[in-house]
Amino acid sequence: MNRICSLHDAVADLVGDGDTIAMEGFTHLIPHAAGHEIIRQGRRNLHLVRMTPDMIYDQLIGAGCATKLTFSWGGNPGVGSLQRFRDAVENQWPHPIEIEEHSHAGMATRYAAGAANLPFGILRGYVGTGLSEHTSTIAQIECPFTGESLTAVPALRPDVAIIHAQRADREGNVQMWGLTGVQKEAVLAAKRSIVTVEEIVDHIEPVPYAVVLPWWTVSAVCEVPDGAHPSFAMGYSVRDNAFYKAWDAVSKDRGSFTAWIEQHVLGTTNHEEFRRSVGLEVPANV
Amino acid sequence: MSDASYTTDELMIVNAARQLGALAAAGRPVCFVGIGLPSTAANLARRLYSPAPVLVYESGCIGSKPTRLPLSIGDGELGETADAVVSVPEIFAYWLQAGRIDVGFLGGAQLDKYANINSTVIGDYEHPSTRLPGAGGAPEIAASAGAVMVIMRQSKRAFVERCDFRSSVGYGDGPGDRERFGLQGGGPKWVITDLGVLEPDSVTCELTMVALHPGITREQACASTGWSLQFADDVRTTAPPSAEELDVLRILQAA
């Protein structure tokens, strides 16, 4: 497979049933188009990992792709509940889902440990909370130098990390800027990675505070303009807050959710068609 | 309170903003802000007070100066107006855990008399009647921020004797627990509600009503609390939101 390829080919080649998948993006640069492609290709029994399983994982969970979720906050930011996630946990619909629950700081520490090829990471956290009682991947250790009690959490080593970035060059070097969340750590912690980008350019111009992932750290780069929608890519798009608000009504009901997925995701073959289907303008550079 | 020219949300926001203004004046300006009422209160305080609070968002934004209220903690505006933007592992490790945050904000579905908070489940963890979003950044904000401010509506359902799940730790089961747990931050110092303000008792750590909003009675406060509510010796009445506070807040919310 060429490093630069279609999103269809990247998911077909790199994402398998039963894989542990980390799709990251902290509000900014969430790889929604890639999530849709996983639903389209009918992946099953996925272990989904994500700090904030918002709309993107609500869709994957409701579409029946996941049997386990590792996370720290599952809501629709600024709107409310994540309806499909709740239905899966409370009512086992469309099937039961196992959860492994952490805090943001713990998840960030776990990714950083994975990126550094360490078996676990250390933080001051969780002590006295119910999470320590219910989550088996939280343990106390003693500092060998001071004797202080600290919390250990195991490294996250996903099979595949999937992120969205602003751009890449033709070799596959990836550049992203603005809020870059935990994406660098997720990619470096994972065995394989897919990066969707707003555009592929001949030469990457430097941008202040940009994160660059060299081509040899990335398995596949796919040009998917507006592939983060309704999340956004700084410099290319703004967050579609109305879409997040509208999701609440679509996802509240199993029937309206299923109809939405069938019409707009399963009924389309790629992100360009998806955008037309939901009534969004297709970007000029498609 | 029915004739008030302001909403209960506005009342809570204004009182939280005043407390932040006082902290900034005392040289403790750095706030770790969540979305919703805390973000609104912090942004209001930034417009009303000098020195202004410094806003830090868990998405990695340090020193954000948004011109309008964000819907999410990762709205573009927060990054574009920040003094620095850092990664998520960094914001939690170098900034929050390291003790560089003066005030953290928390809210939740349940708060108990020792200011522990539940934002995880109602009912049993394995078989919840309501699955809530989860802890997110709260456990380490509660553990490491210099002080914590809680903003929540006061009701028997939300202000409970004991939380169904302890997502973040206030004073645990009472005096000495924070020290036993090795928590480095100061813990919850103020709970701003639609009825008034609660603070932990200096001896028992139990949340105690120290102020009531104009027109609110002790009976109302007791009827809206799931434990046997205690009152401070000198319960204050908060000043009603001023015309200036309300003007600035409404302009901010309309932007």
Mean pLDDT over A252-257 rounds to: 97
pLDDT tens figures, A181-195: 999 999 999 999 999
Q: Quote the pLDDT of residue A284.
A: 53
Segment (H or E) for B199: strand B196-200
Is B27 at the interface with chain A, CB within 8 A? no
Show Cβ contacts of residue B125 under 8 Å, excluding neighbours closer than 6 positions: A130, A134, B165
Hey, are the CB atoms on A105 and B97 less than 8 Å from each other? yes
Q: Quote the pLDDT of residue B1.
A: 42
Of the candidates B72, B132, B169, the beta carbon closest to that of A239 is on B72
Handedness of CA A23, A27, A31, A32 (dihedral sign): positive
Q: How far is A96 from chain B (nearest CA, A)?
A: 12
The radius of gyration of chain A from alpha carbons, rounded to an integer in Å, stands at: 19
Of the candidates A26, A108, A184, the beta carbon closest to that of B74 is on A26
Share of chain A above pLDDT 70, in %: 98
B residues 120-159 closer than 8 Å to A (CB): 120, 125, 128-140, 143-144
**Domains of chain A in sequence order:** 7-102+159-277 (3.40.1080.10), 121-154 (no CATH)
pLDDT tens figures, B159-172: 999 999 999 999 99
Tens place of pLDDT per residue across chain B (255 aa): 444 699 999 999 999 999 999 999 999 999 999 777 888 999 999 999 999 999 999 999 999 998 888 777 667 788 889 999 999 999 999 999 999 999 999 999 999 999 999 999 999 999 999 999 999 999 999 999 999 999 999 999 999 999 999 999 999 999 999 999 999 999 999 999 999 999 999 999 999 999 999 999 999 999 999 999 999 999 999 999 999 999 999 999 998
Side-chain-side CA neighbours of A186 within 13 Å: the count stands at: 28
CA distance B40 to B146: 21
B191: left (phi over 0), alpha (psi -120 to 50) or beta: beta
Q: How far is B235 from chain A (nearest CA, A)?
A: 32
- In CATH terms, is domain B8-254 a member of 2.40.40.20? no
Q: Quote the pLDDT of residue B139.
A: 96
Q: What share of chain A is helix, strand, coil (3-state, %, to 5)?
A: 35, 25, 45
Active site positions of B, annotated? 58
Name every chain A residue with its beta carbon within 8 A of the beta carbon of B125.
Answer: 130, 134
A180: nearest CA in chain B? B87
User: Is the ipTM beyond the 0.90 threshold?
Assistant: yes
Q: How far is A154 from chain B (nearest CA, A)?
A: 15
Q: Quote the pLDDT of residue B2.
A: 43
Going from the C-alpha of B243 to that of each of B25, B195, B246, the distances in angstroms are: 22, 20, 5
Of the candidates A75, A109, A128, the beta carbon closest to that of B133 is on A75
Residue bearing tokens 């914001």: B91
Q: Give the A:B interface size as CB pairs under 8 Å.
A: 172
The band of A286, judged by pLDDT with boundaries at 50, 70 and 90, is very low
Could you tell me where the beta strands, DSSP code E, fall in chain A?
A: 20-23, 46-50, 66-71, 75-76, 80-81, 98-101, 120-123, 139-142, 149-154, 160-169, 174-176, 192-201, 211-213, 220-223
Q: Quote the pLDDT of residue A54.
A: 93
Of the candidates A102, A211, A239, the beta carbon closest to that of B76 is on A239
pLDDT tens figures, A209-247: 899 999 999 999 999 999 999 999 999 999 898 999 999
Q: Quote the pLDDT of residue B73.
A: 67
Of the candidates A28, A103, A130, the beta carbon closest to that of B140 is on A103
CA distance B231 to A40: 59
Q: Quote the pLDDT of residue B4.
A: 65
Name every chain B residue with its beta carbon within 8 A of the beta carbon of A149.
Answer: 182
Name every chain B residue with its beta carbon within 8 A of the beta carbon of A27.
Answer: 59, 72-75
Name every chain B residue with its beta carbon within 8 A of the beta carbon of A130.
Answer: 120, 125, 165-167
Is B242 at the interface with chain A, CB within 8 A? no
Side-chain-side CA neighbours of A174 within 13 Å: the count stands at: 29
Three-class SS of residue B93? Answer: helix
Name every chain A residue with its beta carbon within 8 A of the beta carbon of B75.
Answer: 27, 239
Domains of chain B, residue spans: 8-254
Hey, are the CB atoms on A179 and B129 less than 8 Å from each other? no
Segment (H or E) for B116: none
Name every chain A residue with its beta carbon within 8 A of the beta carbon of B129.
Answer: 90
Could you tell me where the beta strands, DSSP code E, fall in A1-71?
A: 20-23, 46-50, 66-71
Q: How far is A1 from chain B (nearest CA, A)?
A: 31
